[in-house]
Amino acid sequence: MKSGYVAIIGRTNAGKSTLINKFLGFKLNIVSHKVQTTRVNVLGVLTEGENQIVFIDTPGIHRAKNVLDKFMNKSFRSASEGADVVVYLIDGSKLFLDEEINNIKNIIEKFEKVIIAVSKIDLAQKDVLAKNLVSLNELSPLEIVPISSKSGENVNVLKQQIIKHLPEREFIFSSDEITDKPVKFFCAEIVREKVLNFTNQEIPHGTFCEVVSFKEEKNIVKISVDIICEKDSHKAIIIGKGGECLKRIGTSSRIEIEKMLEKKVMLNLFVKVEKDWRNKQNFISANVYN
């Protein structure tokens, strides 16, 4: 029997959450083409036969500009420290920067078991991918696996490599568990994903969503979610002309939450302003990381 924690780390937008969803075979984590989508560590448990992989989705590594960023960067470090295997995911479709190669070198020195996965190979031009793979030559991870979560190429190979390096251990979670987070967390995340999809510029990054009420009735679940943003002008954009934007966020969130809960949902959204919340330590500790 093998079981262990596997931290998936890497820069923002490398495709970490997409990869974990692909491993699990369903959408657990929210994903977007915008940077800094994932904000907290989320466990995704994959139990297959005698093996259990507990994936830790982490916020992408990025330069900290505010208190929230610092929290996010701490998350990937704590995930790596508690992990049996660390998978560093790097976007293979763009030429690797020396700075990132140095980062990976440090991670390989610091942690015992590091696998490098080169992502988005479906997008990568052949010469770019070839150059990228050459620039990894000087590193000595356990394995280097080029993958695509989109086409599925080598995702199984990566899974087998991860299992190879897992410790012999009883399962950490029971085999029917899939995550450490409550359903309310995922409801709020789905709404935040739609805000990311339907708004632009700095608005999505300054938005925080919270389920304030969750009432399960016989045939319907009634859910209220607060969308908290940083400025009155942002609130106006999220609501949109005649409430159009909020309506789109609401409809698309409701459809996805209904799919997740397998039940009809009535979703109420409220947009609120908490000025500069990303720099308020108390607000972040009390809300985002509780």
Ligand X SMILES: Nc1nc2c(ncn2[C@@H]2O[C@H](COP(=O)(O)OP(=O)(O)OP(=O)(O)O)[C@@H](O)[C@H]2O)c(=O)[nH]1
Q: What are phi and psi of 208, to 5 degrees?
A: -130, 135
If you compute the radius of gyration of the chain from its CA atoms, what whole number of angstroms results? 20
Q: Assess 206 for contact with ligand X (CB under 6 A).
A: no
Q: Give the nearest distance from C-beta 75 to ligand X in angstroms.
A: 10
Burial of 34 per CB tally in 10 Å (0-12, 13-18, 19+): middle
Q: Assess 17 for contact with Mg ion (CB under 5 A).
A: yes
Residue with tokens 């990132």: 100
Binding characters for ligand X, 120-139, by CB under 6 A (x = yes): x-xx----------------
Quote the CA–CA distance of 95 and 73 in Å, as a whole number. 23
- Binding-site size for ligand X (CB under 6 A) equals 23
Binding characters for ligand X, 141-180, by CB under 6 A (x = yes): -------xxx------------------------------
Q: Assess 15 for contact with ligand X (CB under 6 A).
A: yes
Q: Which stretch binds ligand X (CB under 6 A): 13-21, 96-104, 179-187, 267-275?
A: 13-21
Q: Sign of the CA dihedral 23, 28, 34, 35?
A: negative
Distances (CA, A) of 253 to 80, 104, 274, 279: 32, 36, 22, 27
Interface ranges with Mg ion (CB under 5 A): 16-17, 37-38
Interface ranges with ligand X (CB under 6 A): 12-18, 31-33, 35-38, 59-60, 119-120, 122-123, 148-150
